[in-house]
Each structure stands twice: as structure tokens, then as C-alpha cells.
Structure 1
């Protein structure tokens, strides 16, 4: 767990409404004479409303705010299932800790590294428990994980050998929390970018206040690498200006001269690049960028310039980067996050698929940089305390230097890369144009409410109907959405006199807001800003808000989309299932106690079941569809929101091992069902829900069933409008 900068807190800072599933965790620990407290921000996915809840030190970890998904949505389980990582740390700890010493474990999680360190010192020996020179301090700031760690330590009989401290590492004081400076630091506070979990400030404080001079560390060093690539897919994730030029709808989300009015944040984005290997053209050899030593105090700022020779003709759309850990001082134990096409020391990158660490992608702005084989380009790389950024330069006509800068003085509406790609998709835009054009027919002065955060639909209505009165609710974008419209209105030939962004919460909409007129058209994509980590059916918030606005609808109000269709497909997902399966012993330490809390799939105690989680299916390693895509249930938006139940049969079309079901919503935009926007697995810019089976099931097709195989299954689904929960049950036959 992040010690100084929790991932959830970082995510909230950049996208204020980003809430994976139901609970967003902001660890803010308060000390009192009786217990420790942590505030948790609980968000209702159907309303967007949030409330702070306090979790106490003496709460049972399994309660987790009466919501078992609190830790299930984290990457702990996937990380603990990474056998390559676990083995590398165990080997390095055994090699590094060879005598009695004081070991500090920062970001201890379940206590795995602490137990490895205690075992390496022989703390478990019957005659070693009174040796005061043998000491392990486990520092973990996240209270729910601290309580889970204590359970793990107890189950392994290690509780008396390890001192657990529920604080951030920069809150520890020698002589108060720990008796002396530590001789050895073991830690795993790394994200896909390497620095995003606060590695540098954590190490700085540790070296200044918590560690002896010249301490031993595991890991010993981390090195970042990169490679120049061409990829149309990666280009579409950030260059909206050039991609929307192909659209014929007349809407300019990024008008000429306002190229960055709507854009992605200039940062690295974690992604499984092996999944798009066939869509990537390599334009350089791998190159080393930065090196960070754990055994000495790192600098907060670093810069380097690299001269990189192109290995092929092409256009540099992105820089793909990764890191390699050297875990021991001698350089014999490594772990790498490199893509599979890269050779690494001791095959450190050749291991099981995992989701907690990916490669990172830095988008070269606009349409990229054109290079020729043998040409040299200059890469300027900068690192701060928590991130790494790049600037690519190349000599062009008249010896001018081309570089793409992000001018912070201009207004920018920052959206995720996948949203940028959707807004640049000509086919998607045509679907919206057709549906909305049909909806506006024979309506002279319609009152149109955009219920979600779609700036595209707002501009499209204003473009198609100059007489419309448009009210955009923008529940997530709020003032940023209003400011964006002001910036691009003139370029789109629309008057802001006909468009307004509601300043109040939409739940308090009054007839005064609509100027005493009823709503004729209620529309949405649906898209809710900051909703990227939620399950697909939690976009049924549109249905809930349609219901809240019911008193303001005209008798012939048109709702777009008119319905949502819950779809599914049986999938073979061996890599994903293995990364989420129940834990037993990890390098000799029993972790079975964490399975229920961390949302594992496998043989859980009845009646417990693993949760549905969100993934980009295409990034889930080895995948195979075992059935046709089928409908489970429909949600009729012409009527107020109601509980729904349905049952569907699954007929397998391919033989294989079924690990679960992918689930998504298809949005039917018109009453004739002629315009349907899918969010299924073939849509790379959309996340799907995944329901993993407790145990994989061998399946076959009708007429080719072998012993022990199933040829069909049934799925039951029930939707609860009070909390947005969709319960999925299945049975094989």
C-alpha cells in the first residue's frame, strides 16, 4: 500500500469523482485515546452522492464498512498471486539479511516481506525470541490492511516477532515509534510508472530519519527504460484534433487554434502493451532513461537528454516505458515489467501475466513526430518526486526544432484517453448524429436536457437545432464543462444564450430552471466524468436520474437512449482467473485468511461469492470467447427505474475452459432499435464487468461433448435500484 501518496487519493486529486465501485478510500487516520480511525468516502453510484464514514480500529476487517468490496477492488490480491515477484523478493531477502538486525518494512500490506525478513534472521527458532538484536517493524498506513495483516501474522505464528505500526512512514519517529534506526529497508511501494506511489519522498525521509548510514535495501536499484513506437491505436487515444477532422457532423470539440481545449493530461498511462503488439511498429531499440538507488537518498528532480537513432521509418506516436528491479546488491536477482518482446536479465520479464504492474505509455502530442531510419531524435526526460515526463525533438525543415508543449496558461478540459478516442470515432459520432437528428424532427422549440457529462451531445443539439433551449447538468464536469462550452462555442457557430449549465444539483431541478417549460428531450451517452472505474451497469445512473426528472417531463418526452441491454459472453480468461484466485501459501506463509476480504475467486466459504470487477477485456492476457454474445435483461428507460430480474441460457460455441463471463451494456438510442452503441469486449475504449467462476469449468459444443464437459449454462441477474447492485448467479449443465 502506498505510504505517502495513496493511489486512491492521487486518483481523486486528478479526477475528483473517480470512484472504483462503491468505496473510494482516503486514508486520513486520527488518533484518540481509545482507537484509531480512518475516514472512508462512500459514493452512491446511482446518484453520485457521497458521504464520509468512519472505520474504527476495533471494527472487524471483514465488515469493511458493511461492504465487502472495500479491498476487493485493490490490486493486493493480484500482487500476492504474482509468484515471480514473491520468489524474487524472498531470494533477495534471504541473501541480504544474514545476521541479526533491525528491518523496516515500509508499505507492509499483508506482512509478507516482514515475515520473510523475520524468517531470514531466524526469529522463528525456538531459542531466538529473546534476541533483542532481531527486530522487524512493519509500517502500513491503511487501517483495513493493517487489521488484515495482523490476521495473517497470527495465522502464521509471527505476531510476536513483528511490530506493526499503523502510520505513514514519514510519521515514524525514532525513540517513539521505533527504538533505533533500521539496518535494512525492505519495501514494495512501486506502481507501473515506478514513482507514482511516492517512492522518492518515502526513501528521502527514510534515509534522513529512519535508516542507518549505508543501509542494506531490498530492492537495491530500479532502472527505467523506453522505446519509440508507432501505433494508430495509441494515437487515437490522445489526438482528438486530427481524428475528429474525419467526422462529417460539423462539430469541433477541438477547433483550430484551440487544439488543447479538450485533451488528455500529459502523463504516463499504464497499459498492457503486449495486447496490442500486432498494432505497434517499433521505431527504436530500447534505451535506458533513469536509475534510482534504494540504498542512498534519491534526488527529487532529475533530467537527462538522450540521442536516439531510429531503426525504421515511421511516425512516433508514443514512448512505451517499463522498469527493471535489481533486488540484490550483486545483481543476480531481477524483476522486470518489460513487454514480452524485450529480453531482460535472467529472463526477469518472462513470467505469469499480472495486472498490478503494466507498461506505461507517454503520448507524443498531436500527430506525433515523423522520422526516417537512421535519423537521430533528441529525447528530454524529466522526473519529479512522483512522475516522469518526456519531450521529443527532431530536426525538420530549415533546421527548426519541432516539439510539442502543453501550455498550462490555456484552458484545458482534461478527459481520459479512452474518452478522447470515443469522441474521435467517426462511427460513434454518426450514430449520435442520426439518433439526435431523428429525435429533433417536428420539435420547433424543444427543451433539451443533457443529463450526463457529454459535451459532445450538448454541442450537437445546439448545432442541429438553433431554437432549442439546452440545459446541461454536467454532474461531474460542473464549472469546467461550462467553461469549456464558452471556449468552443463561437468556433461551432452556437450562441451560449441557448445553452446553460445548471449550477445546482440536478436533483433539485425546478420549473424555474426550465423557464416554466416541460422537458421535451432527455439525452445522455450515458457518460459520467470520473466514472471510469465503475461497473458498466452503474451507468444506469442515467435511468435513476431520468426517474428523478420525471415530474418535469412533457407528455411526449423523448428519452435517449431509450433502453439499456445487459449483454454477456462466456469467456476463457486463464491469466485473469489465476491472478484473482484464492491464496494458500506464499513462499511458505499461509495467506488463506485474506481470500474473502480481497475478493478472491475459488472455493470460498458459503454463501460468499467473488465480486464483479471492471477490466478492459482485451488487456486481460490470454482470452477466448466460448459463446455468442447474448442478452440477459433489458432496462426500459421510458418508465421510472424499477427492480429487474431475468434468466438466460448460454450455449457454448467453442470448446475450452470457462473462467467466467464478461458483462456490459448496449445502449439502444432509438425506439426502432436501429441505432445501438455497444460497450462490449470488441470496444477497446470501454471497460467491461467480469464475473469470475469459483472454479473453471470445461465446456464443449453441442454434439461434441466429452466426459466431464458442459454444453450449456444459465445465468440469473437481478438489479436493485436502491443501491445499483447487479447480482449475477450461474449454473452449468
Structure 2
């Protein structure tokens, strides 16, 4: 729509003629329908033509009358290349664009910085972290360091949130430059020599990119007075780049000093420097303990890009050794987990608490039948190692065959017989007495953790309760259930950055986008009586945050009984003045009946996502008796529906 408006303002000829046309393509049909609604709302349905195809399915002479003169696109993710930028542009240059086309964006440059961070190190080096635990559980035995690991890739992360925990070991350095106006290469490599600015250990490469951008004025300048055919790909965020390089946008963290005039930047693109959730920085983990460097030492970095990703290798003086190349020795498969799950498994306190809970549960049981209901390889190995006479059945609903292969591979290192452990067959959905050879289950256990559930809401792990209910017929009368209960906790918080990123869309660059809110799931500024959904977030990465109340309990989930509808209600007083944007919720798992071992998944614990219930409108709150704030307390009610696993949250402010 911006392109069409720019063309229209510079042409006496209508944009709807064949000489000047904007064609947009989108492969996802519901989004196509939504685009057409927006176009109609803004009176541009005859000016912009939307085609329900991928860009690489378009054909000149069939979908567009001739090769396009201008390409407007936004297919950039946090890594820059991950959404298929290169193959998309290659096809466009080969099949869809005229010679020497105008492109928006114009150019992007990726930058990096070497950092030391114990937090980042814990997210990937399970071998060395579990060695510190000294508990004789070996998830990654010696010589099998990559049997359980993270995927070797860049990970999107808000690095400002860990600024105080990072030691910068270099100045920012340029890595790759991509010119969108010409056909990009599928493969590129570069050798960089980087001077270390501090003594330390390089645990990661933090990267971001800068692209030179323009506002409506520059886009108008590109198109004005020219009867262009304009092609738009996957048009989501309207960010355009100009060839003059006068205005730019950066995804770098706030602690990086721009190499340009910041005042000019902020006046040209006011949103720069604001928190946003769609673009973050990227982190590449250096395998193992990292690379030790001394101040002023030259570090040799080899960077490689493919069609869709960027990776790094460090070259050392030790006989040309490369650090950063992931060595997948051993079996031809690997158990791939998220960085947060790897960090949990390497956390000494978490392991200690889990082992203590398992020992308590096994106490007095000589030859027990234990069932691990979730995808916890840690609990399976812990039981097998601690009780040689127990038989363990691991359901592994997400891992299945890979989980079975993993348990067999690490059996010797952990001192148990593989005959002691079995994994539920793929075709089975639940256990019967036939599967247990007519034995009753003495211990049902879970973390709970379900493979592939990393981006889910906390209460979706109540699947454990459902599994426990399905297994009820084969549980012994005195069976131990671990965890024995879940406690829904909450806290009122100020979340201005998160609220802005999820509130209803209205006017965007002068265009009315209000019809998109229902489909896209906006959460703030909703018209009454609509309620916002709960969304999963790492709260510690959500920009500016402030707790406005004490942590309070909303309801309990009792796993000693069969799953059933339940509800809870809590009254909370605000303890800090501020603007309340919503409530953050999570579950604390009570592992034993004495409630001496409780594992929290709240915001203080960075390895779990919390659920966020945003208010319809931000509300000023304060302490009772003070003149600041309109509200002093709130009532929260939660209703759990086991049929769909949904947790409905309602609130009232007073």
C-alpha cells in the first residue's frame, strides 16, 4: 500500500493501469483474505493485486504482465537469512525482475562481537556443567559429549537482558554485507582477524545486523514519477532501505554504540532503540568450555553463510585446530534439546532437588515398578541408577525411539542394565496390566517435561495430570505420584514493552489496520467485552519489567486424584506504584507430600516460559492510602478445563 501510494502521488496516470501496478504475493490463504480486507478498508483493492502464491511460483505473462522494476520485501528474521531471503531473491532476480531493479530493502550488513558469559555457557555445555554436579548421573558420558546437545545454529535472544552478565571481549566487527539489488550468492565465507579487548573466555558470538532504511519520503522518492511495476513479497513490517544509505535500522543491543550520528538516526526512524519482539540479536555458542583469549591477542574467525544460516569457526595456533565446528562423533543420531533444557539438566541445584525427591520416593521400595510419564531422560536414568532392583517403563511420548536409543547408549556409563528399562512402543497410547505383566505401578514420576513443548504455556504441562488419570487402573493403592501437586502462582507486573508489541493495530503509516486484530490475536486495547489470550514468554527477556505485587497463589492442582475441572481465586494488593499491564502466571511443582521440595518455573528461573495475561487497558495502580494510582488491589480467578487443557484467567481491579 505504501508503494501504491508513492506511485500514485507521482503519476498522473492511475496506478490501476497496466503501466503502473503493485502486485503482492502471499502463500498463506487466511493471510491473503486478511490482506484483501485491509485493502478494501483503505480503498486500495483495485490498486494492489494480491496473488495467493509463493513468490517462486509466480510466472511472468501469467501472474504479472512483465518483469517488475521494483521489489519491496520483508523476509528478514533475527538471523537475517532464516526466512529464505537468499533463495527468494535469487528466483526474483532470475525470473521476475527487470535488469538493474530498485529494491527495498537495499543492503544489510551483519556485525558480531565476542563475549564471555557464564549464563550463555550453561545453555549449551552440558558435559562440563554436569561434571560439577558430582552426583554420578552422566547424561553425556565422556567420549559421548554430543549425544545430548543443542542444535548447532544461531539462537535469537534479547541480549540487553543479560548485559550485566556479559563481558565484552572485542569491539563490534563487520561479518557479511548483502546487497539486495543484485542476485545474492548461496554460499559465502570470510576470514576475520579480531583483536581481543579483554582477557577472558569466548563463550559466544553475539550478532545483529544493520540495514539502511527510509521512511515514506524515501519510498516516494524511489517510485515517484515512474510508471513502475512493483512486486511485494511477504509484506509484514514496512521497513524500506535506500541506496543513499542516509537512514538505517539496526537490530543491535542497546549497549552497542552506533557508528553513525545517533541524533540523525532517532529523528529519521523514531522506533530505533525501542524493544521489539520480532527482531532480536543472535547468539552462536562456542562448543565446549569456549576459547581462552588474552587482551590484544588476535583471534581468527572464519564465518560461513549458506542459503539460510550463518555459522562460525575459530582458528587457533594449536596445529590449525578449529573451535566451533560441532563434532557429532559416535552414533549417527543425537538427542537434540533446547538450550534452556540443556541448562536445566546441567544445573546442580535442580539435579540435587530431583535426586533427593527420587530417593525419598524410592525409600522402602525393594523391587518397584516405576513409570516415567513424560520425556525426562534424567529421571529415567536417576531411578535406574539409584535402584538396581526397580523396573522402569518410560512413556517418552515425544522422544519414543530416540529416547530408547539414548538410554541404551548411556546405560554402561550410568551403571544400569538396559534390561531394567523399557520405552513404550510407538503404537501404544497408554499402559495396561498386560504391558506391566500384571504388576501394579508403585511410582509414577515426571518433571514434568514434554519434548517439543518448549514454547507452550506453563499449564500445558498439566498433561502429566491427564497421563496420571489414564494410568489410574494400574496404580497400586500406595503408589507415589511425583510431583504430587502443582501450584498456580501469579504476580502483577508493569510490562510496557510487551504491551506495546501486542496491542491492537490501528493506523500504520497512515493506513487503517484495525480489521486484522481478531485474526492476529491482539491483546491490548481490545473493545469490551473481548478478553486477551494468555501468551507464553520468557519474562526476563520482555524489555522493561517491574513487579507491582507480591507473588501470590491462585489455585492448586492435586495429582493424587483423577483430573477434573477446578478453579481458584485470590485477592492481591499492589505493593508498588506504577502502570499495571497484566499478570504473569506460572506453576510451581511440589515434588513430595511434605512440600519440602518445590521446583518453581517463575520469572526468577530463566529456563522456563511464563504465561502472560495482558490487561485490556493499562491501569495506574498504587498503595492504599497514597494519592498515586487509581487501583489498590485486584481479584484473580482461574478456571481449569481438563477437556482441552485450557486455563481461563479473569481479573477485576479495585
Q: TM-score normalized by structure 1?
A: 0.82
Residues 400-426 of structure 1: per-residue CA shift (max 9 Å, x gap) = 635243234533211000000000111
Displacement of 1:505: 4.8
Cα distance, 1:505–1:663 mapped onto 2, change above 3 Å: farther
SS in 1 for 2:3: helix
SS in 1 for 2:211: strand
2:86–2:308 contact (8 Å) kept in structure 1: yes
Displacement of 1:249: 2.1
> What is the correspondence of 1:92-491 to structure 2 with a 5 Å cutoff?
115-122=1-8, 128-129=14-15, 131-326=17-212, 327-344=241-258, 345-347=260-262, 348=265, 350-396=272-318, 401=321, 403-411=323-331, 412-491=334-413
1:547–1:641 contact (8 Å) kept in structure 2: yes
Partner of 1:691: 613
Residues 369-426 of structure 1: per-residue CA shift (max 9 Å, x gap) = 1000011111111111111111112225xx5635243234533211000000000111
- Bigger shift: residues 354-363 or 289-298: 289-298
Residues 505-561 of structure 1: per-residue CA shift (max 9 Å, x gap) = 553322222122111100000000100111000000000111111111111111100
Displacement of 1:199: 0.3
Residues 408-451 of structure 1: per-residue CA shift (max 9 Å, x gap) = 45332110000000001110011101111000011111100000
Displacement of 1:128: 2.0
Displacement of 1:704: 2.2
Query: Hey, which bits of structure 1, 4+ residues long, moved more than 6 A?
Result: 123-127
2:430–2:471 contact (8 Å) kept in structure 1: no
SS in 2 for 1:177: coil
Q: Tell me the distance in 2 between the aligned counterparts of 1:658 and 1:517.
A: 53
Displacement of 1:603: 3.3
Q: Tell me the distance in 1 between the aligned counterparts of 2:329 and 2:55.
A: 36
Displacement of 1:130: 5.1
2:633 equivalent to 1:712? yes
Q: Tell me the distance in 1 between the aligned counterparts of 2:12 and 2:524.
A: 36
2:494 equivalent to 1:572? yes
Cα distance, 1:404–1:585 mapped onto 2, change above 3 Å: closer
SS in 1 for 2:316: strand
Displacement of 1:213: 1.0
1:475–1:506 contact (8 Å) kept in structure 2: no
1:123–1:134 contact (8 Å) kept in structure 2: no
Cα distance, 1:127–1:484 mapped onto 2, change above 3 Å: same
2:286–2:323 contact (8 Å) kept in structure 1: no
Q: Tell me the distance in 2 between the aligned counterparts of 1:604 and 1:638.
A: 40
Cα distance, 1:126–1:545 mapped onto 2, change above 3 Å: farther
Q: Tell me the distance in 2 between the aligned counterparts of 1:506 and 1:244.
A: 33
Consecutive unaligned residues of structure 1, counting only runs of 5 or more, are: 1-114
Cα distance, 1:476–1:124 mapped onto 2, change above 3 Å: farther
Residues 1-52 of structure 1: per-residue CA shift (max 9 Å, x gap) = xxxxxxxxxxxxxxxxxxxxxxxxxxxxxxxxxxxxxxxxxxxxxxxxxxxx
SS in 2 for 1:122: helix
Q: Tell me the distance in 2 between the aligned counterparts of 1:630 and 1:410.
A: 48
Displacement of 1:569: 0.3
SS in 2 for 1:627: coil
Q: Tell me the distance in 2 between the aligned counterparts of 1:192 and 1:449.
A: 41
1:574–1:623 contact (8 Å) kept in structure 2: yes
Q: Tell me the distance in 2 between the aligned counterparts of 1:540 and 1:373.
A: 50
Q: Tell me the distance in 1 between the aligned counterparts of 2:624 and 2:134.
A: 46
2:566–2:639 contact (8 Å) kept in structure 1: yes
Q: Tell me the distance in 2 between the aligned counterparts of 1:402 and 1:722.
A: 53
> What is the correspondence of 1:599-678 to structure 2 with a 5 Å cutoff?
599-678=521-600
Partner of 2:514: 592
Q: Tell me the distance in 2 between the aligned counterparts of 1:642 and 1:272.
A: 39
Q: TM-score normalized by structure 2?
A: 0.92
Partner of 2:466: 544
Coordinate RMSD, CA, aligned: 1.5
1:118–1:124 contact (8 Å) kept in structure 2: no
SS in 2 for 1:507: coil
- Bigger shift: residues 346-355 or 525-534: 346-355
1:221–1:293 contact (8 Å) kept in structure 2: yes
Partner of 2:479: 557
Q: Tell me the distance in 2 between the aligned counterparts of 1:343 and 1:430.
A: 42
SS in 1 for 2:429: helix
- Bigger shift: residues 603-612 or 206-215: 603-612
1:334–1:346 contact (8 Å) kept in structure 2: no
SS in 2 for 1:420: helix
Q: Tell me the distance in 2 between the aligned counterparts of 1:300 and 1:137.
A: 26
Displacement of 1:346: 4.4
Residues 579-625 of structure 1: per-residue CA shift (max 9 Å, x gap) = 11111111100111112222212332333221110100000000001
